[in-house]
Structure 1
């Protein structure tokens, strides 16, 4: 596995990549952005109101659902038979202005050869709001969200297989960027290059202790704390100049 930082990085594994798949939250924008904190608070509030329990108890419960079922929503559907629409609308009704424009990231994504997808356990509406704030909307070919996935979240295998089926992508020519190591297991098994995004210069990069072994997992090919910088490293290796392709950015 390549080390954090880019000195001595070997980008030859990306020579034939023509499909670039990005998780959304804490991947396309850094965890220091306030969005996921807002969504966590919204989820705890929803669970507390649904079950008429204190917020701290609701937080503990939703974290258990997240660990066991992949998302809080999936846990609530299985354990309490909720209808997903109200939950999704409530959780993603947040202030997206915390996401700052990222021209450097936009230039890099624009210059990537082939197709570029967002693949998220969130909603398309939320993904579009984030992409618009980042300035990458015009450089994304499609968004695959939790509704498209029939509410079956990553890391379950089914949504990945549906992605392959509907896009016709070749996993051996694809790269998957994620902030959760467990969501990279299936992509790695399918033959994709896998890149784990973590906060910069920190040891405690995971929300829960059970995620702590993530970077050392055998299905994590690369670890990076800077998505734009990593992509520019790939472009430099492939001798692609983003400035020649994105003069308007």
Structure 2
């Protein structure tokens, strides 16, 4: 996968204050990563751990999963407990010569995103170069004012990732996003659960989840709603975002539930 350096767009007009700011996760939210990309990333991470730490494959795979559960991203555990180069790790496990054949998005995705009111930002635990490559392949990179990737979540030399609360407050403050205007669209339910504490809007997208994960993620729903109490909307397709959302603070004030 040959990528150009990340670009910075200048002069984009920003919507007025109080309009929604959509925080989109990338993988399994804007495209079907479970189809090919997630299996490839997981296999590449396990191989990297095998080579870097001289582990057996089964042991490396268990370590990968343990760090995801504990820290939210395998990288954070590796960076904290092992002498690896985080940038080399990110580059190695997110490089795909056949990326165009691996990316699957919804039909009419660019139109769906473009017609949503307000600002749009990517918030992903993936590296920026990979995120921009996927967005370019989907034909939607120009629709987002910025990409907040895992490199931008670092602070004072320490790596952070979703669902870290202090990290989200900081990156949104730097992006001038009021918490009351933010709406997170995300496939990982635990991220939504944690971030709802900040009072942001939460949209759980399940259409790209594997069947086993969808069954596991469905636990804890409110009776008759198909969603947990900390999820404002549960959707299968991004097409559903065009229905039912008001703007920014007005929509957030009308959410069910209260801040914790």
Match of 1:158 in 2: 166
- Aligned partners of 2:71 and 2:149: how far apart in 1? 17
Q: Partner of 2:202: helix, strand, or coil?
A: strand
Q: Is the 8 A contact 1:99 1:133 kept in 2?
A: yes
Q: Is the 8 A contact 1:110 1:139 kept in 2?
A: yes
- Aligned partners of 1:234 and 1:160: how far apart in 2? 25
- Aligned partners of 1:225 and 1:31: how far apart in 2? 15
Q: Is the 8 A contact 1:182 1:214 kept in 2?
A: no
Match of 1:196 in 2: 204
Structure with the largest fraction of helix: 1
Structure 1 unaligned residues grouped into runs of 5+: 1-15, 239-249
Match of 1:246 in 2: none
Match of 1:231 in 2: 241
- 1:108 equivalent to 2:116? Answer no
Cα distance, 1:138 vs structure 2: 1.2
- 1:86 equivalent to 2:88? Answer yes
Aligned CA RMSD, in angstroms, stands at 2.4
Structure 2 unaligned residues grouped into runs of 5+: 1-17, 222-226, 248-260
The alignment's TM-score, normalised by the length of structure 1, stands at 0.79
Superimposed CA distance per residue, residues 169-217 of structure 1 (whole angstroms, 9 cap, x where no aligned partner): 122222101111111134312221101111369752259x6x5637554
Q: Is the 8 A contact 2:50 2:56 kept in 1?
A: yes
Match of 1:205 in 2: 213
- Aligned partners of 1:113 and 1:105: how far apart in 2? 15
Cα distance, 1:113 vs structure 2: 1.6
Greater alpha carbon shift after TM alignment, 62-71 vs 183-192: 183-192
Structure-2 change in CA distance of 1:134 and 1:169 (3 Å) = same
- Aligned partners of 1:202 and 1:84: how far apart in 2? 28
Tell me how many residue pairs correspond in the alignment. Answer: 219
